[in-house]
Chains A and B, each alone.
Chain A
Amino acid sequence: MRLLIKGGTVIDPGTGKVVEKDILLADGKIAKIGVNLNAGSAEVLDVSGKLVAPGLIDMHVHLREPGFEAKETIFSGTRAAARGGFTTVACMPNTNPVADNAAIISHIKNTAFVKGTSNVYPIGAISRGSKGEELAEMGDMKEAGAVAFSDDGMPVMNAGLMRRAMQYARMLGLTIISHSEDKNLSAGGAMHEGYMSTVLGLKGIPSSAEEVMVARDILLAEETGCRLHIAHVSTAGSVQLVREAKARGVKVTAEVTPHHFSLNDGAVAGYDTSTKVNPPLRTAADVAAVKDGLADGTIDVIATDHAPHTIEEKDVEYELAPFGLVGLETAVGLVWTELVANGVLTPLQAISKLTINPASVLGISKGTLKTCADADITIIDPATSWTVDPEQFASKGRNTPFTGRQLKGMPYMTIVGGRVVMREGILL
């Protein structure tokens, strides 16, 4: 099986170059990159006017399987990934049972191998059952294929346990991903604490709930030498803490979600439960700070925190609704509309935060276009405008606050392992 991707603008964050080149794919690998390549027996894909990037990586998704298949499955979640232009996803361990042992990590990998449209890398739990009491078998999980560790939405409140987790992860050479939230400060909160929560009468989650944990985990990472990745940074204070930590050499990286750089807490007015996310949508000043952090490199990664829920679960009073929105199929549009078109990031910077940077955090050999690399390619049409319609989603989740939003820039084609899996929104 040979494919020649012809006439596109190739963005390779591995070399830092943006050039008009052709790419030849053969046997699931990148065979050749060059000008005016000869097609030979290869099928030719004319992508002139489009951007050709390494396959996008979303390092923060919830695939819900095993345990919550009504919300999403590995089958539907990876199809959503492919539709959104992602060739690779890393999935969080808050399944049922929790992905806290080698057997479940293997199960997820095997299911993804059989039913998955995109590549799946499981993230293992830090503590058994994500209960925050004792360490999970991190070494075993690494053997089985876990690429990082996190208790995500069940953050480790015990600093002693987190310190030991970091010592252990450092020994294994893997990253700890911190969902930074002090549960005592956030308890009962449904949205950002501030003027909007006051007006709406909803209990607020203060910025400090995130920032004290970012600070704590940075100090622990500094002490243990562990690589730390701060998930879904949402406040100006967190951005500054990461910036300062990086400046003094702490091995810390950070991610932001498209919804945190596209929306502020004003979106909660009207009580649309698809705006209920954790961490919550913050203020306009926080959104500006997050964008500054993206622009100056403080924030390395864009990840969606794709969190599908059923319609029934979300169609309730705001306080009763679960946290989370679906992000895989709107990410590229939001990145291009909110960041690239506005000059916050160059296309190369944006692609780096969606490819080589998450690959480096997870330590996986993905996210570049060098010859012999896996033939994972995402082709983006930067010029086309489209309207978000959740009915078109491949995800089982419909919980998006972007319904009806006009976006410019869409994933045009997704190629996984040399095989076209999505073309112009249609899954093949």
Chain B
Amino acid sequence: MGLSGKDLVGLQFVPAEEIKLILDTATPMKEIIKRQIKKVPTLRGRSVVTVFYEASTRTRVSFELAAKYLSADTVNIAAGTSSVSKGEGLKDTARTIAAMGADLVVLRHPMAGAAELLARTINAPVINAGDGAHEHPSQALLDLFTVREKKGRLEGLKIAIIGDILHSRVARSDIWGFTKMGAEVRLSGPATLLPQGIEKTGAMIYASIEEAIADADVINILRIQTERQQQGLFPGLREYSQLFGINTERLKLAAPDALVMHPGPMNRGVEIAPEVADGVQSVINEQVTNGVAVRMALLYLLTGGGNQHEIAH
């Protein structure tokens, strides 16, 4: 069994069995990362191109390491956001990538739908590493992987996602992923940062953060961007922190063994108190490691490369 689509643009249309396959494949991949020599020949001779129209060292390096651990060659194209605003960026880049014979492309782009546009344009598989406020499927998959690893299951868990849901591609991918796997997703954040109709995704909306995190098994805290305040979407960081910041007091409302997650980078003292970020319930560093494992699984499955035996040993 493999993935049915050529690309991974989002989790909205990925069936639960395929999500499970990705998570299952990521387990042996994580073993590779733990080895002394972190390299298997699985994707030798293959090329993975990462195209980042938005700076994100964390995600880019995660994909590059994943490719390197599988022996693929990697190239990064750092496309400036200035070329995006000129409206000539993506199509030109697509032509270049096709000409170079890339076997897989990882795209980060500030605009929703960019990954889909690229996927339509080129023959190589495309992994969406975040497109505007649309989706960021590999981040959600690493969230699912982390929770499943810690809790042993996803079904029946209560996942609270707190913060700027409106602009969060992570939140959207998380909602699709967690609800498909049988978890309950609860959302809370400033009313101006909760998008219209989000409840139709199957997630539940809570006006008060206290209700949203009550008995939750996981609290996933989203990064709040100061530019949203400049856009007038909320009055100030101090007030945000008071209304929606996660501190030790609030954390007590969740289940005693609740996991604290954050897609990073964190604003310590704004959306998350430092003692929570570094506390025993935090799995934020685990998420980073698991990110590489999940991305190895995605590269493997989408290139259809190698065989299972090669990964195992």
Instruction: Please determine whether B200 and A318 come into contact, CB atoms closer than 8 angstroms.
Output: no
A13 and B196 alpha carbons, distance in the complex (Å): 43
Instruction: Please determine whether B196 and A199 come into contact, CB atoms closer than 8 angstroms.
Output: no
Instruction: Please determine whether B196 and A193 come into contact, CB atoms closer than 8 angstroms.
Output: yes
B-chain residues with CB within 8 Å of residue A313 when the two chains form the complex: 87
Given A197-B195, A319-B111: A202 in contact with B132 (beta carbons within 8 A): yes
Instruction: Please determine whether A199 and B201 come into contact, CB atoms closer than 8 angstroms.
Output: yes
A163 and B111 alpha carbons, distance in the complex (Å): 39
Interface flag for A200 (CB, 8 Å): yes
Instruction: Please determine whether B91 and A315 come into contact, CB atoms closer than 8 angstroms.
Output: yes
Instruction: Please determine whether A316 and B196 come into contact, CB atoms closer than 8 angstroms.
Output: no
Instruction: Please determine whether B109 and A317 come into contact, CB atoms closer than 8 angstroms.
Output: yes
A206 and B131 alpha carbons, distance in the complex (Å): 22
Q: Mark A281-319, 1 if CB is under 8 A from B, else 0.
A: 000000000000000000000000000000001011111
Which stretch from B20-28, B112-120, B146-154 is at the chain A interface? B112-120
| Nearest CB of chain A from residue B185's CB, rounded to whole Å | 14
A-chain residues with CB within 8 Å of residue B131 when the two chains form the complex: 201
B-chain residues with CB within 8 Å of residue A315 when the two chains form the complex: 91
Interface flag for B158 (CB, 8 Å): no
Instruction: Give the residue of A193, A201, A204, A270 whose beta carbon is less than 8 angstroms from that of B134.
Output: A201
Instruction: Please determine whether B87 and A201 come into contact, CB atoms closer than 8 angstroms.
Output: no
A-chain residues with CB within 8 Å of residue B169 when the two chains form the complex: 201
Interface flag for B265 (CB, 8 Å): no
A316 and B116 alpha carbons, distance in the complex (Å): 11
B-chain residues with CB within 8 Å of residue A200 when the two chains form the complex: 112-113, 134
Interface flag for B84 (CB, 8 Å): yes
B-chain residues with CB within 8 Å of residue A428 when the two chains form the complex: none
Given A195-B196, A199-B172, A201-B172: A316 in contact with B90 (beta carbons within 8 A): yes
Instruction: Please determine whether B195 and A320 come into contact, CB atoms closer than 8 angstroms.
Output: no
Interface flag for A194 (CB, 8 Å): yes
* B interface size (C-beta, 8 A): 26
Given A270-B116, A317-B111, A319-B132: A198 in contact with B91 (beta carbons within 8 A): no
Name which residue of chain A comes closest to B116, CB basis: A271
Name which residue of chain A comes closest to B166, CB basis: A198
Name which residue of chain A comes closest to B109, CB basis: A317
Instruction: Please determine whether B112 and A201 come into contact, CB atoms closer than 8 angstroms.
Output: yes
Instruction: Please determine whether A198 and B198 come into contact, CB atoms closer than 8 angstroms.
Output: yes
Interface residues on A, range: 20 to 34
Instruction: Please determine whether B113 and A204 come into contact, CB atoms closer than 8 angstroms.
Output: no
A-chain residues with CB within 8 Å of residue B195 when the two chains form the complex: 197-198, 204
A202 and B169 alpha carbons, distance in the complex (Å): 11
A315 and B87 alpha carbons, distance in the complex (Å): 9
Instruction: Please determine whether B84 and A317 come into contact, CB atoms closer than 8 angstroms.
Output: yes
Interface residues of B in 91-128 (CB under 8 A from A): 91, 109, 111-114, 116-117
Q: Mark B191-207, 1 if CB is under 8 A from A, else 0.
A: 00001111011000000
Residue from A195, A202, A204, A316 whose CB has the most chain B CB atoms within 10 Å: A316
Residue from A199, A313, A316, A320 whose CB has the most chain B CB atoms within 10 Å: A199
A-chain residues with CB within 8 Å of residue B90 when the two chains form the complex: 316-317
Interface residues of B in 164-217 (CB under 8 A from A): 169, 172, 195-198, 200-201
B-chain residues with CB within 8 Å of residue A195 when the two chains form the complex: 196-198, 200
A193 and B197 alpha carbons, distance in the complex (Å): 9
A176 and B197 alpha carbons, distance in the complex (Å): 35
Instruction: Please determine whether B117 and A271 come into contact, CB atoms closer than 8 angstroms.
Output: yes
Q: Mark A162-204, 1 if CB is under 8 A from B, else 0.
A: 0000000000000000000000000000000111111111111
A313 and B85 alpha carbons, distance in the complex (Å): 13
A-chain residues with CB within 8 Å of residue B133 when the two chains form the complex: 201-203
Name which residue of chain A comes closest to B168, CB basis: A201
A-chain residues with CB within 8 Å of residue B7 when the two chains form the complex: none
Interface flag for B303 (CB, 8 Å): no
| Nearest CB of chain B from residue A144's CB, rounded to whole Å | 36
Residue from B85, B112, B131, B200 whose CB has the most chain A CB atoms within 10 Å: B112
Name which residue of chain B comes closest to A192, CB basis: B196
Name which residue of chain B comes closest to A193, CB basis: B196
A196 and B195 alpha carbons, distance in the complex (Å): 10
| Nearest CB of chain B from residue A119's CB, rounded to whole Å | 36
A197 and B133 alpha carbons, distance in the complex (Å): 10
A202 and B87 alpha carbons, distance in the complex (Å): 17
Name which residue of chain B comes closest to A188, CB basis: B231
Instruction: Please determine whether B197 and A317 come into contact, CB atoms closer than 8 angstroms.
Output: no
Q: Mark B37-71, 1 if CB is under 8 A from A, else 0.
A: 00000000000000000000000000000000000
B-chain residues with CB within 8 Å of residue A317 when the two chains form the complex: 84, 87, 90, 109, 111, 113-114, 117
A199 and B111 alpha carbons, distance in the complex (Å): 14
Instruction: Give the residue of B87, B172, B200 whose beta carbon is less than 8 angstroms from that of A320.
Output: B87
Q: Mark A193-222, 1 if CB is under 8 A from B, else 0.
A: 111111111111010000000000000000
A-chain residues with CB within 8 Å of residue B267 when the two chains form the complex: none
Instruction: Give the residue of A193, A194, A202, A206 whose beta carbon is less than 8 angstroms from that of B112.
Output: A202
B-chain residues with CB within 8 Å of residue A199 when the two chains form the complex: 12, 172, 201
Instruction: Please determine whether B196 and A271 come into contact, CB atoms closer than 8 angstroms.
Output: no
Name which residue of chain A comes closest to B133, CB basis: A201
B-chain residues with CB within 8 Å of residue A319 when the two chains form the complex: 111-113, 132
| Nearest CB of chain A from residue B93's CB, rounded to whole Å | 12
Instruction: Please determine whether A271 and B197 come into contact, CB atoms closer than 8 angstroms.
Output: no
User: Could you jot down 16 A-B contacts, CB within 8 Å?
Assistant: A194-B196, A194-B197, A195-B198, A196-B197, A198-B201, A201-B112, A201-B169, A202-B113, A202-B132, A203-B133, A271-B112, A271-B113, A271-B116, A317-B84, A320-B85, A320-B87
Other contacts beyond A195-B200, A202-B134: 6, CB < 8 A? A198-B196, A199-B12, A200-B113, A271-B117, A317-B87, A320-B111
